[in-house]
Structure formats: structure tokens, C-alpha cells
Amino acid sequence: MTSRPLCELTRQSRRTFLKSGAALATTATFGALAAPALAKSGPIEIKVGSTQPEGQYLVQDVMLPWCKEVERRTDNAVTFTWYHGSSLVKTPQTVKALRTGLVEMANTMATWMYEDEFPINSVLHLPLNFTTILQKNRTYRDAFREIPEFTAEFDGLHMFGFHASDFMNLDWAAGLPAARTLADFKGRTGWAVNKSIVMLEEAIGMVPMTLKQEDLYMALQRKSMDGLVFNTAALPPFKFDEVTNAHNIVNWPGGTIPAGLNQKVWSGLPSDVQGVIDDLSDDWTDLCGAIVDNRREATLKGLRERGDEIVEMDDDMRAAMASAGQPLVDAWMARLEQKGINGTPILDKVNALLAKHADATMTTVPDWVPEDWLLPV
């Protein structure tokens, strides 16, 4: 799989993207709408349980501005109170907290941790033909909207943002070289974020480790673990670039982290407020995808410039990785079969959506997005 670097795009005065030197400006798909007249007796506060640090780029450049735009368009009929950095809800609690109403909104639901609860959603954890996170996010959105079994897994929630973390690559503790052949992976220990990554690691001869995420930095620093499978765009925010200097680019699929509202809270919102949130739903999905693609390319650029060893897959390695991934597909099919669900048409539909969005690009950016939201690459 190869990545199409959306980060090559630049912003112009009309906030349009340019690709290959040719302007793709169109009538603004995401143009700001006039704030609707909303009947209200006072602001409705929505508590947002975020597991991300307040300074994380997705939060600062997409999610907080998105909330501010909802507030603006509703004339502050609704306000968002953020609880950053797992101060209200921890990562493993996000799904339950949202269902029970402990939080009214979650910006990154950890559905990737609960493949048994979200078995159809976990189709996006399979090694499919992903090219960019923008492509994957749009596929995620359309699968939720068009596949009834997919939608049913989120009963009791109102989903409005569909996002997945960046592609997962192998990052090795400082001093350990990158693998050059499939045999080089054999016996190496590495952190695995979920069952899918465990199976992929085992398929290439690695020994998966399931440490708590907060323990990973120390494990790499002390070299009690050889490496980790982690999404490249998040290496600098989590400071793992400080303790790794060799990387195998394998583009394994990252976990799904959608955004949603508690259904009871959603049902209690005025219909015009609901309309504003739904109108901005595609913005959340697209912007999260585009900025992650940009940060991945910017991160790789920085790693190369400082002299890190970065090994891309050659044809033999790519074929071996594809073969290693087939047991994941078979296991996913078997899990659905045990639940009485035929996974074949679901997988076929997802593959069709991936093909539909294979060349996904954003042609315009909303005016409420910060000017410097993309990094130079």
C-alpha cells in the first residue's frame, strides 16, 4: 500500500487546495452558513470527554474549531465544555461513558479496543487497500450510512464524525536496525494495540506485547521492548520519536476513533441545532483525514532529515505482508459467522467504497479552520 501525500497541497487566499499545479477551486462545499434563528431558554452545555492532550493537533486545528463553529452557527444555543487529556474519561472507558451519559460527547471513541463489541466496525482494521486516511475516513462514513449491520452496532449513539488513526508502522528502539527481510522480524518484541495487530505481528514472526500505552516510552528507552507498531503521525505528539530511530513502513491499518453524542442528549437538542451538527459532519470526517495525512508526511520528512533509517517495502516484502494479512480476513469472517452474519457482502461493499474513494482529495477548506493547520513538507 502506498500513501498519497495530501500534504503537498497548499492553501490559497480563497482557501482552496492546489494539486499538481492546477487549481481545483470549486464553489465552497464547506462554506460558512448563516447562523440559524434558534429558540432557546439558555445555552445547552455538552461535556466532551477527550483522551487527547489539549495541544494535540487534531484537537487544536480541527475539533475545537469545529465546536466553535457549531456554537457560532447556533448563536451559542449550544456550548461545548472540554475535558482534555483523559481528565474525565480514560481511553478504555470512552464507549461505555458515552452510552451511559457520563460524557455527552466523545471526540475519539476507542472502538479499536472493542472488536468483539464492534465486529463489523473492525473490518476497517483489516489490511485492505488503504491509500490515505482521507480515503479511509470517507469509506468509514459511507459504510456506516449504507450498511445496516454496521449502523446497528452504534445503537444508542448519534455518530457524526468518522475517523481512523494514521497507518501503523514499525518503529524500533534506538540502536536497533530496521528489518530488511521478513526473517529480520523473527523474534523481535513489539507493542500491539489490538487483536488485529497481534495477529499481524505473529504472522511475521514477532512476539506481541500488550503494555499500557503510558508504559511504552520507558520500555523503549530501557530497551525492554524492541519496538512498537504505532501510527506515524502520532510519533512526535507522544514523544516516541525521542526513543526510536529506525522504522519499517508497512502501512498496517490504524484503529477506528469515531466521534459521537449520547443518543438521549442528541434527542434533547432542538432540531435546528441537530441540523447544524449534521451539516458539519462531513467537515469533521474530511479534515481529520487530511490533517493526519499531512502530519504523517511531515513526520517522515523530519525523521529522514535527522538521519533515521526508514525502510519502505519492496515487492517481496509487500507480497509477504499481504499473505500475512489474509488470516486476519479469515478470522474476521469466522467471527461474524459465529454471530450469524455473512461477512462477504459487507467486505465487498467496503472494498467497493475504498475503490470509490481511492483518489480522495479535498478541494476546499472551511473558513473557520486555522490558516496554519497544515505543516510544510
Q: Is residue 14 part of a domain?
A: no
Residue 40 lies in a domain: yes
Classify residue 211: in a domain, yes or no: yes
pLDDT score of 33 more than 70: no
**Residue 6 falls inside a structural domain:** no
Average pLDDT, the chain: 88
Asked if residue 64 and residue 186 are part of one domain, the reply reads no
Higher local confidence (pLDDT), 195 or 161: 161
Domain containing 129 — which CATH number? 3.40.190.170
Average pLDDT over residues 266-286: 97
Q: Is the residue at 367 inside a domain? A: no
Number of independent structural domains in the chain: 2
- The confidence score (pLDDT) of residue 197 equals 87
Q: Which residue has the higher pLDDT, 178 or 233?
A: 178
What is residue 363's predicted lDDT score, i.e. its pLDDT?
87
Ramachandran assignment for 20, one of left (phi > 0), alpha (psi -120 to 50 degrees), beta (any other): left
Is pLDDT larger for residue 334 or for residue 324?
334
If asked whether residues 84 and 172 sit together in one domain, one would say: no
Domain match, 309 and 187 both: yes
Per-residue pLDDT, 41:
65
Question: 127 near 112, Cβ under 8 Å?
Answer: no
Q: What pLDDT band is residue 321 in, cutting at 50, 70 and 90? A: confident
**Residue 179 falls inside a structural domain:** yes
CA dihedral 150, 153, 154, 159 (to 10 degrees): -20
Alpha-carbon span 58 to 284, nearest angstrom: 10
**In the chain, alpha helices (H):** 57-58, 64-73, 94-100, 133-146, 148-152, 195-203, 216-222, 263-267, 271-279, 281-305, 315-338, 343-356
Is the pTM above the cut of 0.75? yes
Query: Do 282 and 308 belong together in one domain?
Result: no
Instruction: Indicate whether 219 and 123 sit together in one domain.
Output: no
Are both 203 and 275 inside the same structural domain?
A: no
For residue 212, name the pLDDT band (cuts at 50, 70, 90).
confident
Instruction: Give residue 315's pLDDT.
Output: 84
pLDDT tens track for 160-173: 999 999 999 999 99
**Same structural domain for residues 31 and 90?**
yes
Burial environment of residue 315 by CB neighbours within 10 A (0 to 12, 13 to 18, 19 or more): exposed
Please say whether the beta carbons of 38 and 77 come within 8 A. Answer: yes
| Residue 108 reports pLDDT greater than 70 | yes
Q: Using an 8 Å Cβ cutoff, are 233 and 75 in contact?
A: no
Q: Are 261 and 165 in contact (CB under 8 A)?
A: no
Considering the domain boundaries, does residue 370 fall inside one?
A: no
Distances from the Cα of 97 to the Cα of 81, 253, 258, 259, 270, angstroms: 16, 26, 14, 13, 23
- Tell me whether residue 264 is in a domain: yes
Share of the chain above pLDDT 70, in %: 89
Q: Give the Cα separation of 184 and 204 in Å (integer).
A: 9
Are residues 73 and 145 both part of a single domain?
Answer: yes
pLDDT at 10 (0 to 100): 36
At 286, the pLDDT band (50, 70, 90 cuts) reads very high
The answer to whether residues 186 and 316 belong to one domain is: yes
Instruction: Check residue 22 and give its pLDDT.
Output: 32
Residues 308, 174 share a domain: yes
Report whether pLDDT(12) > 70: no
Are 80 and 43 in contact by the 8 Å Cβ rule? The answer is no
Residues spanned by the domain of 158: 27-165+255-299+350-356
* pLDDT score of 151 more than 80: yes
Decide if 290 contacts 55 (C-beta within 8 A). no
> 36-80, pLDDT tens digit by residue?
344 446 899 999 999 998 999 999 999 999 999 999 999 999 999
At 28 the pLDDT is 33
User: Can you tell me which residue has the cell 529506525?
Assistant: 246
Q: Per-residue confidence at 324, pLDDT binned at 50, 70, 90?
A: confident
Q: Which helix (H) or strand (E) holds 311?
A: strand 309-312
- The mean pLDDT value for 1-16 works out to 34
Is the Cβ–Cβ distance between 169 and 247 less than 8 Å? yes
Looking at per-residue confidence, does 16 or 185 come out higher?
185
For residues 63 and 160, membership in a common domain is answered with yes
Segment 220-235 mean pLDDT: 94
- In the prediction, which pLDDT does 26 show? 33
Q: Are residues 216 and 237 in the same domain?
A: yes
Going by pLDDT thresholds of 50, 70 and 90, the confidence category of residue 6 is very low
pLDDT of 256 reads 95
